[in-house]
Chains A and B, each alone.
Chain A
Amino acid sequence: MEKFTNKAGSAIVDQLILAIQENKQYLSDIDGLIGDGDHGINMNKGFTLCRAELDKNPGNLSSSMNILAKILMMKIGGSMGPLYGKFFKAIAVALEEEEEIGIKEMGAALKAAVDAIASISSAKVGDKTLLDTLIPALTAYEKAQAEGKSFTEALEAMKFAAIEGCDSTLDMVAKVGRASRLGERSRGVPDAGATSCRIILETVADKTKELLNN
């Protein structure tokens, strides 16, 4: 059985912070094409504040995710702060009691995170939002799990579904959010939220696989 400890899992949050910091400009550039152009700036602000807080209060995966969630919810405005805040909060709560995390625990945490976003957003798959990355990624993970695949294989499946899902927003017309103002003209540009979500899920998959190999 492939598992990693909650304690070692804090490295996933460290890597997430790096990934968002590295993609700050990229995310803002995409957002600038059909939105406000501030997605990268806001995400970077939140994840960088989290870095400072984690340096003062290091912990395990769930406690680190909890700190990240709190900062995104309380300090970052707009819609993305609360959406990602709820997302990471749900993962933190789901994993709180787990000393070791395997395919089952991670699956339950991802499911809880997707449910948490659905509870505050009315967006659906196809509306050109982060859900176009998130929902197919969770479905692929759960399918691999149901088929008896390994944790590594499930993470791989999730990662590729996330990339495909994000790419699918390229050819969509925005239905919600500020980009919906552009109608047909929003076609041909990927959604900024779907892209940051793809980066987050890719990073979670890659870092978790690394932990499983150690």
Chain B
Amino acid sequence: MRKFINDPSLVVDEMLEAFLIAHSDLVSATDNERVIKYKKAPIEGKVGIVTGGGSGHKPAFVGYLGRNMVDAVACGELFSSPPAQMFYDAAKAANGGKGIAILYGNYAGDNMNVSMAMEELRDEGLEVKTVVANDDVPSAPKGEESRRRGVAGEILMWKVGGAKAAMGGSLDEVIAAAQKAIDNTRSMGVGLSPCTIPEVGHPNFTIAEGKMEIGIGHHGEPGINVVDLEPAAKVAQRMCDVIIPDLPFTSGDEVAVLISGLGSTPVIELYILFNDVQRILKEKGIKIHISYVGNYFTSLEMAGATLTLMKLDEELKTCIDFECDSVGITQFQRT
């Protein structure tokens, strides 16, 4: 292990402590040390946007706290779902009296912990609803979309939900927009090398030298197959061949493209991938409305990338273009 750490058991705590100081203009602490909120949350009369999950995906999840984005985040241990108490406290921290939308990814632990937090919140008379992201195409076949995991597409779901809430949307409107966002989003990952949880001390899976894993999950969940390394153009083709027919995305569609590194892949390579992806989309007559290329949703130091496409309609376009300010994404109103 070659890591900048002090104590393997304090990785998350030290990171959060630092995050709060480094970004004190945007975020602040709550009574629960594992719940971080947007500095101005709760915002009276606005639907509260909550998310959370295991740590190790920087800038997700705390990096999307901010103006017109997420209001409160529950931060679990590395790759481990936060307990119900954290989701509960995050919902309370985001509650501006207009209802709370918990927008999170489809993982067994998160599903159980969110559902228990919701029972408590509803017992107190709070209005809480969820959208569960399931954009990772290789994690389950078509027709079994509800079994698919949530990956980088979650960012676009938060962007849309956060914008809708900021525009004054009701809880039902925010939930409907976030659900529409994820329903129109498809992702896929390719892994080149594994990652190590500091407390474990060794990678809990391997990818052989000269190989890459097609369809790998955000915690190293198994992909579709392991193949020899290929040029970026072929990798981009593989990703598009899985994602495009699944929705399907067709000629004339307008899309948001998100290419995120998984941690240790240089951004320069992400742009090379993007170049091949945009060429394939152009050939198919699919128009790119907006692009995000960078480290948006990582998996510790895993090498690799995810490609996410979101099909846009007028409502989604308005939400995606909406101004926002967060560590992960800052956007000015497009003119």
| Complex contacts, B76 vs chain A, CB 8 Å | 77-78
Q: How far is the CB of A81 from chain B (nearest CB, A)?
A: 5
Determine whether A75 belongs to the interface, using a CB cutoff of 8 Å to chain B: yes
Q: Report the bound CA distance from A36 to B200 in whole Å.
A: 7
Q: How far is the CB of A44 from chain B (nearest CB, A)?
A: 13
Q: Is the CB of B77 within 8 A of A82?
A: no
Determine whether B80 belongs to the interface, using a CB cutoff of 8 Å to chain A: yes
Determine whether B221 belongs to the interface, using a CB cutoff of 8 Å to chain A: yes
Q: Report the bound CA distance from A73 to B117 in whole Å.
A: 9
Determine whether A8 belongs to the interface, using a CB cutoff of 8 Å to chain B: no
Q: Report the bound CA distance from A188 to B199 in whole Å.
A: 23
| Complex contacts, A83 vs chain B, CB 8 Å | 112
Q: Is the CB of A77 within 8 A of B109?
A: yes
Determine whether B28 belongs to the interface, using a CB cutoff of 8 Å to chain A: no
Q: Report the bound CA distance from A159 to B220 in whole Å.
A: 36
Q: Report the bound CA distance from A177 to B108 in whole Å.
A: 8
Which residue of B112, B200, B204, B221 is within 8 Å of A82 (Cβ)? B112
Number of A-B contacts (CB under 8 A): 72
| Complex contacts, A78 vs chain B, CB 8 Å | 76-77, 80-81, 109
A160-214 contacts to B, CB under 8 A, are 176-178, 180-183
Which residue of B80, B81, B113, B222 is within 8 Å of A181 (Cβ)? B222
Which residue of A38, A73, A75, A182 is within 8 Å of B199 (Cβ)? A38
Determine whether A18 belongs to the interface, using a CB cutoff of 8 Å to chain B: no
Q: Is the CB of A36 within 8 A of B205?
A: no
Which residue of A37, A82, A182, A183 is within 8 Å of B113 (Cβ)? A82
Q: Report the bound CA distance from A81 to B111 in whole Å.
A: 12
Which residue of B83, B204, B221 is within 8 Å of A35 (Cβ)? B204
| Complex contacts, A74 vs chain B, CB 8 Å | 83-85, 88, 116
Determine whether B82 belongs to the interface, using a CB cutoff of 8 Å to chain A: yes
Contact with A along B197-222 (1 / 0, CB 8 A): 10110001100000000000001111
Which residue of A121, A181, A183 is within 8 Å of B204 (Cβ)? A181
CB-based nearest B residue for A182: B205
Determine whether B19 belongs to the interface, using a CB cutoff of 8 Å to chain A: no
Determine whether B86 belongs to the interface, using a CB cutoff of 8 Å to chain A: yes
| Complex contacts, A85 vs chain B, CB 8 Å | 116
Q: How far is the CB of A72 from chain B (nearest CB, A)?
A: 9
Task: Count residues of chain A with CB under 8 A from any CB of chain B.
Answer: 26
Q: Is the CB of A73 within 8 A of B204?
A: no
Q: Is the CB of B200 within 8 A of A77?
A: no
Q: Is the CB of A181 within 8 A of B84?
A: no
| Residue of B86, B204, B205 contacting most chain A CB atoms (<10 Å) | B204
CB-based nearest B residue for A123: B108
Determine whether B79 belongs to the interface, using a CB cutoff of 8 Å to chain A: yes
B103-118 contacts to A, CB under 8 A, are 108-109, 112-113, 115-116
| Residue of B79, B80, B199, B219 contacting most chain A CB atoms (<10 Å) | B80
Q: Is the CB of A76 within 8 A of B200?
A: no
| Complex contacts, B220 vs chain A, CB 8 Å | 181
Which residue of A77, A121, A183 is within 8 Å of B80 (Cβ)? A77
Whether A181 contacts B112 in the complex (CB less than 8 A), given A36-B200, A76-B83, A77-B76, comes out as no
Q: Is the CB of A81 within 8 A of B83?
A: yes
- B residues sitting closer than 8 Å to A (CB atoms) are 76-77, 79-86, 88, 108-109, 112-113, 115-116, 197, 199-200, 204-205, 219-222
- A residues sitting closer than 8 Å to B (CB atoms) are 32, 34-38, 73-79, 81-83, 85, 120-121, 176-178, 180-183
List 14 other contacts, CB 8 Å, given A176-B108, A177-B108. A35-B204, A36-B204, A37-B199, A38-B80, A74-B83, A74-B88, A75-B83, A76-B83, A77-B76, A77-B77, A77-B109, A78-B76, A181-B222, A182-B205
